[in-house]
């Protein structure tokens, strides 16, 4: 196959063959990048979320809606594909994109095919043809940088893997064939051109040494050996140094050995020990491709996954389809690591392998001699060795060194972290099947009865993608042909599939895995079943089990090693697969134990949230909480930023926890936790989550009745405050009014609550255009809060700067500045960094309104620095929008554009008030318009109009847009605002 036959190129820029030429500038950079990713997996689906990670690097501005942007790019790619002679389809299904093309149409896979053919010819002893074939491969790929259009971490990782596992072994094969044919100078020429890092690729170093010795250039060879050996020793790579020394000593003693590969050993059988392949294998296309890459050279591959994930089926299926890669046979052994039977020990494994190779082990009495015989029989042979169902690293560590020239695949429910790094194992983790793959597996097992049926989706969902559960469920359905599918849906939706299949079903498999662990790990796994959130940390697990943190960490690591838990992005955070969560919860059979776990968990979150509230909202009135019954090891925070990070990281857990507390009758916790974390989340713009927990807390307070009357009023006031942030003024006014009535009805001194209601009501009045009434309410709220004396100082600082905002709205800049500065002085005296950041932002906006540009920039930059320190993403976005306006007015267009894009990104991430995003889009539109980037400017203005809720501002932006379109005769603006927001082009983001 010649290079001209390739229809697509990904070695270099992404190219499309049109006629006799390869077109590499057929579209913008990002669509070319997207096509390149799809061409790395021709004919296979690539999920949108994964494509996003590939296409946008860390230095790129991520679009507001990256998935929608991918759909836009796919349209551009399809238009480019239409120019090809034989049309290629780009399809989208279930949120995944697929390029329908054979792998042989892509230059990278042509290269690999040439290398495979060369290796096969060399194995058969036809070295001249092998050399011709490998030269053909290097006519396709020599100096090009693969995936040139991609700059992301994923692309870098792919390139590194392609170099390590494909190109470097190909260079080794090229050099080997030159050595076999006596063309020693060509070895040096090739390696001189490649200039490899011999420390990273010692096999290429060995080929160079062989060529130098063959050319009698021994001094040069010795100097190269010594310098590299010393480099290995300096890097503490003793194994590589020792290997190099032994190789060099062999060269000096015996010269260059012929490097022809062995094709067999007299009197030794070629074993084919694989179990039967599954009739139809579904899914895991990317894993099968990864196995192809990893097995190009001898080595160890560790395949791990939860019990029932389909590890053995995948490896056996792959091995059946790749027999030709292993001319010396396949050895397969079930080590029974998680079986009710005894584990297969090393001595027994050696005997079985000898039998498979045709060597009767009973003729060799000494076990050590049997081991030596096995090593001698497999030496130099290209075998596939599958060690299935290993119990742990110790179970296989003595077997692995026996097969140095073979490909060894080990499967286990554990990660086998103890396998020595010096063996350089490669790892694959088997994940659950996606919805389409799971549905295909079910249909294959139950027949046409299930094809196209809506019930199929629900049946797939109850199995959570676990192949074992899917197969057992399919067998259950197939043996009951008279029962309609909807009946199975109703049955298993309520019951789940955990207990289906009895001794060979999910519960039995999970029990085997759990039984192999120590008592601490089993207790912890049971406790996690009481946790309602998506993940658990070491802290909460220690609280629930009353174990020290170091023990909990060890137990969690053991559970993760056994694939009963998985790491959740951080070293101290773990999560359960859905069906394993059901299994864990089912182990809590004693109500007293369950309630104990629940109470400790709730206490931990409540006390930690209270500590976070004290740090972040240090100047505000404290939330009343119940006394702790025992020390649960609640977290404490050094500063506000650390407290905010915890609240953000635990957001999903806390939302689930509050809902659980309501449903389980733990009403006091459901009332208190939302009040502690709600205001912290509000600072980060997470209004949806805030409203979720506040409404749940209000429901709990109402369930408690009169004893929680003040708490109910507090919650309603916070709900109203949150709706104010969302600019939903009707709902805000409604809940603030209800809160005011609640405080009036409640016993005791409710001055702070009533003052807060007056203050929030004043902000609503100002926001809805009733500025004069709003100012009056602000002054009344200030007067009321000052009655509280020192206890009300924190509230007073907030009331002051909010009153200052009202005066700014009334164009009374002098009074506004007075109130802002009074608030800033209070915040500084109380060391409230959050309040300082907000007030500096307001002073910046006020100075900008007064056309004091230098002063405005100084205030805004100080505010941005403080917001960034506290990870207040939404607030940082607002300040960036302000700075974009300041720099635009001051003529610093590059800075203005950078701040505008940053504001758009931050505001979109945090769900902040759209006003700042509208401002930033407007600034960006003006800059792009001035730079004659009209398409990007139009898009920016259209997105600003789509987001804008202020009619006057909308009208102003619409006028600017109309003027821009009139200049160039562009189409009129889309009137469908949702469409304007949906159809994001590339100009604004690139």
Q: 395-448: per-residue pLDDT in tens?
A: 888 888 888 888 999 998 878 777 766 677 888 888 888 778 777 777 777 766
CA dist., res. 232 & res. 230, Å (int)? 5
Q: Rounded to the nearest 5°, which phi and psi values hold at 980?
A: -60, -35
The answer, yes or no, to whether residue 260 has pLDDT greater than 50, is no
Query: How confident is the model at residue 499, as a pLDDT?
Result: 67
Q: Could you tell me if residue 811 is left (phi over 0), alpha (psi between -120 and 50 degrees) or otherwise beta?
A: left
Q: Could you tell me if residue 911 is left (phi over 0), alpha (psi between -120 and 50 degrees) or otherwise beta?
A: left
Query: How confident is the model at residue 601, as a pLDDT?
Result: 93
The answer, yes or no, to whether residue 4 has pLDDT greater than 50, is no
CA dist., res. 649 & res. 639, Å (int)? 16
Q: Which of 117-131, 160-174, 725-739 has the lowest mean pLDDT?
A: 117-131
Region 867-878: mean pLDDT is 84
Which CATH code, of 3.40.50.800, 1.10.150.120, 1.10.10.10, 3.40.640.10, is assigned to 7-163? 1.10.10.10
Region 501-529: mean pLDDT is 79
| Confidence category of residue 457, pLDDT binned at 50, 70, 90 | confident
Which of 525, 536, 600 lies closest to 563, judged by CA? 525
User: What's the CATH fold of domain 285-430?
Assistant: Rossmann fold (3.40.50)
Query: How confident is the model at residue 357, as a pLDDT?
Result: 81
Measured over the CA atoms of residue 469, residue 474, residue 480 and residue 485, the dihedral's sign is positive
Give 438-481 as a 3 state SS string. Answer: HHHHHHHHHHHHHCCCCHHHHHHHHHCCCHHHHHHHHHHHHCCC
| Confidence category of residue 505, pLDDT binned at 50, 70, 90 | low
CA dist., res. 382 & res. 323, Å (int)? 11
CA dist., res. 712 & res. 714, Å (int)? 5
Whole-structure pTM value = 0.55
Residue 834's SS3 state is: helix
Q: Which of 40-54, 71-85, 879-893 has the lowest mean pLDDT?
A: 71-85
- How many Cβ atoms from other residues are within 10 Å of residue 941's Cβ? 27
Which of 875, 834, 838, 910 lies closest to 614, judged by CA? 834
Query: How confident is the model at residue 976, as a pLDDT?
Result: 41
All structural domains of the chain with their residue ranges: 7-163, 182-254, 285-430, 435-507, 832-965
| Confidence category of residue 255, pLDDT binned at 50, 70, 90 | low
Query: How confident is the model at residue 751, as a pLDDT?
Result: 92
Q: Rounded to the nearest 5°, which phi and psi values hold at 391?
A: -75, -40
What are 272's strand-pairing partners? 330
Q: Do the strands 536-537 and 573-575 form a parallel or antiparallel pair, or are they unpaired?
A: antiparallel
Q: What is the dihedral of CA 708, 712, 718, 720, to 10 degrees?
A: -170
| Confidence category of residue 285, pLDDT binned at 50, 70, 90 | confident
- How many Cβ atoms from other residues are within 10 Å of residue 833's Cβ? 18
Q: Which of 79-93, 501-515, 699-713, 868-882 has the lowest mean pLDDT?
A: 501-515
Region 20-34: mean pLDDT is 87
Residue with tokens 């096999």: 203
Residue 751's SS3 state is: helix
CA dist., res. 579 & res. 582, Å (int)? 5
Query: How confident is the model at residue 452, as a pLDDT?
Result: 63
Q: Kindly write down the DSSP assignment for every residue of 325-379, as one continuous string.
A: G-TT-EEEEE--TTSSSPPPPHHHHHHHHHHHTT--GGG--SHHHHHHHHHHHHT
Query: How confident is the model at residue 638, as a pLDDT?
Result: 87
List C-alpha distances in Å: 710 to 57, 760, 796: 50, 17, 21
- pLDDT higher at 746 or 619: 746
| Confidence category of residue 885, pLDDT binned at 50, 70, 90 | very high
Domain 435-507 architecture? Orthogonal Bundle (1.10)
Choose the most confident range, by mean pLDDT, from 476-480, 581-585, 700-704, 873-877: 700-704
Query: How confident is the model at residue 629, as a pLDDT?
Result: 65
Cβ neighbors of 310 (< 8 A, separation 6 or more) are 284, 430, 433, 467, 468
Query: How confident is the model at residue 627, as a pLDDT?
Result: 66
User: What's the CATH fold of domain 832-965?
Assistant: 1.25.40
Query: How confident is the model at residue 117, as a pLDDT?
Result: 85
Region 856-861: mean pLDDT is 95
Query: How confident is the model at residue 982, as a pLDDT?
Result: 32
Query: How confident is the model at residue 458, as a pLDDT?
Result: 73
Instruction: Report percent pLDDT > 90 for the chain.
Output: 27
Query: How confident is the model at residue 262, as a pLDDT?
Result: 35
Tokens at residue 334, please? 């079930």
The answer, yes or no, to whether residue 84 has pLDDT greater than 80, is no
| Helix %, strand %, coil % of the chain (to 5) | 65, 5, 30
Per the document, the length of the chain is 990
User: Per-residue pLDDT tens for 604-652?
Assistant: 999 999 999 888 876 555 666 666 667 888 999 988 888 888 998 899 8
CA 923 to mean position of chain CA atoms? 33
CA dist., res. 17 & res. 5, Å (int)? 9
Q: Which of 247-256, 396-405, 935-944 has the lowest mean pLDDT?
A: 247-256
CA dist., res. 500 & res. 582, Å (int)? 13
């Amino acid at each position: 196959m010649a290079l001209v036959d390739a229809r697509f190129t990904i070695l270099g820029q992404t190219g499309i063959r049109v006629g006799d030429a390869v077109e590499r500038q057929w579209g913008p950079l990002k669509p070319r990048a997207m096509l390149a990713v799809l061409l790395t997996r021709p004919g296979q689906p690539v999920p949108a979320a994964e494509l996003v990670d590939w296409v946008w690097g860390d230095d790129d501005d991520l679009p507001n809606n990256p998935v929608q942007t991918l759909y836009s790019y796919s349209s551009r790619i399809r238009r480019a594909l239409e120019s090809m002679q034989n049309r290629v389809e780009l399809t989208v299904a279930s949120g995944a994109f697929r390029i329908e093309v054979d792998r042989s149409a892509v230059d990278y896979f042509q290269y690999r095919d040439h290398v495979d053919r060369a290796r096969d010819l060399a194995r058969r002893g036809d070295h001249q043809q092998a050399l011709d074939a490998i030269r053909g491969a290097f006519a396709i790929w020599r100096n090009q940088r693969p995936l040139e259009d991609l700059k992301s971490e994923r692309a870098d990782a792919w390139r590194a893997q392609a170099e390590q596992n494909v190109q470097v072994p190909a260079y080794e094969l090229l050099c080997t064939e030159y050595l076999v044919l006596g063309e020693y100078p060509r070895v040096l020429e090739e390696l001189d051109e490649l200039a490899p890092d011999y420390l990273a690729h010692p096999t290429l170093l060995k080929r160079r040494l062989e060529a130098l010795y063959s050319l009698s250039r021994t001094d040069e060879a010795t100097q190269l050996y010594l310098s590299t050996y010393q480099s290995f020793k300096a890097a503490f790579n003793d194994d590589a140094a020792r290997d190099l020394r032994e190789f060099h000593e062999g060269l000096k003693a015996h010269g260059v050995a012929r490097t022809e590969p062995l094709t067999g050993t007299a009197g030794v059988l070629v074993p084919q020990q694989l179990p039967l392949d599954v009739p139809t294998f579904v899914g895991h296309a990317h894993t099968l491709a990864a196995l192809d890459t990893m097995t190009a050279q001898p080595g160890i591959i560790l395949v791990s996954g939860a019990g029932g994930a389909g590890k053995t089926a995948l490896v056996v299926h792959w091995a059946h389809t790749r027999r030709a890669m292993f001319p010396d046979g396949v050895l397969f052994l079930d080590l029974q690591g998680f079986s009710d039977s005894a584990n297969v020990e090393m001595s027994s494994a050696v005997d079985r392998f000898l039998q498979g190779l045709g060597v009767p082990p009973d003729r060799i009495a000494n076990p050590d001699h049997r081991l030596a015989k096995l090593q001698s029989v497999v030496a130099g042979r290209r075998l596939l060795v599958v060690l299935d169902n290993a119990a742990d690293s110790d179970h296989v560590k003595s077997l692995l060194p026996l097969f140095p020239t073979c490909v060894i695949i080990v499967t286990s429910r554990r990660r086998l972290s103890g396998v020595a790094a010096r063996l350089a194992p490669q790892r694959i983790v088997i994940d659950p099947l996606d919805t389409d793959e799971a549905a295909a597996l079910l249909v294959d097992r139950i027949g046409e009865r299930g094809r196209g049926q809506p019930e199929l989706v629900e049946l797939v969902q109850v199995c959570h993608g676990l192949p074992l559960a899917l197969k057992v469920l399919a067998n259950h359905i197939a043996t009951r042909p008279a029962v309609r599918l909807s009946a199975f849906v109703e049955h298993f939706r309520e019951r789940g599939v955990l207990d289906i299949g009895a001794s060979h079903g999910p519960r039995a498999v999970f029990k085997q895995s759990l039984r192999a662990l120590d008592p601490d790990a089993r207790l912890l796994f049971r406790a996690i079943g009481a946790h309602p959130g998506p993940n658990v940390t070491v802290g909460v697990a220690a609280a629930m089990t009353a174990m020290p943190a170091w023990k909990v960490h060890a137990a969690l690591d053991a559970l993760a090693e056994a694939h009963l838990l998985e790491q959740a992005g951080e070293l101290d955070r773990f999560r359960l697969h859905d069906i394993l969560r059901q299994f864990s919860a089912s182990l809590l059979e004693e109500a007293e134990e369950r309630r104990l776990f629940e109470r400790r968990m709730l206490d931990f979150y409540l006390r930690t949230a209270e500590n976070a509230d004290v740090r972040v909202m240090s100047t505000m009135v404290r939330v009343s909480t119940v006394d702790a019954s025992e020390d649960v090891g609640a977290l404490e925070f050094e500063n506000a930023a650390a407290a905010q990070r915890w609240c953000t990281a635990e957001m999903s857990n806390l939302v689930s926890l509050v809902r659980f507390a309501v449903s389980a009758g733990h009403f006091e916790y459901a009332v208190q936790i939302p009040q502690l974390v709600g205001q912290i989340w509000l600072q980060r713009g997470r209004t949806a989550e805030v409203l979720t927990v506040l409404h749940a807390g209000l429901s709990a307070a109402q369930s408690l009745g009169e004893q929680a009357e003040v708490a109910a009023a507090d919650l309603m006031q916070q709900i109203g405050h949150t709706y104010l942030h969302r600019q939903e003024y009707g709902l805000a006014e409604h809940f603030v009014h209800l809160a005011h009535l609640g405080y009036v009805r409640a016993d005791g001194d409710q001055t702070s609550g009533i003052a807060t209601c007056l203050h929030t009501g004043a902000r609503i009045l100002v926001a809805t255009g009733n500025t004069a009434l709003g100012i009056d309410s602000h002054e009344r709220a200030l007067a009321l809060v000052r009655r509280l004396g020192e206890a009300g100082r924190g509230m007073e600082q907030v009331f002051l700067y909010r009153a200052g905002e009202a005066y700014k709205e009334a164009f009374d800049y002098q009074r506004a500045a007075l109130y802002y500065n009074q608030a800033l002085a209070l915040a500084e005296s109380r060391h409230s960094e959050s309040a300082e950041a907000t007030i500096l932002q307001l002073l910046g906006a006020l100075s900008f309104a007064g056309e004091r540009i230098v002063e405005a920039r100084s205030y805004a930059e100080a505010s941005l620095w403080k917001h960034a320190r506290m990870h207040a993403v939404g607030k940082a976005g607002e300040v960036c929008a302000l700075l974009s306006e300041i720099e635009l007015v001051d003529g610093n267009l590059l800075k203005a554009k950078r701040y505008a894009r940053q504001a758009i990104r931050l505001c979109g991430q945090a769900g902040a008030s759209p006003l700042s995003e509208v401002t930033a889009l407007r600034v960006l539109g003006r800059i792009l318009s001035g730079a004659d980037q009209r398409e990007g400017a139009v898009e920016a203005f259209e997105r600003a109009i789509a987001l804008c809720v202020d009619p006057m501002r909308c009208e102003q932006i619409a006028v600017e847009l109309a003027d821009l379109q009139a200049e160039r005769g562009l189409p009129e603006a889309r009137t469908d605002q949702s469409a304007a927001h949906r159809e994001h082009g590339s100009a604004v983001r690139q």
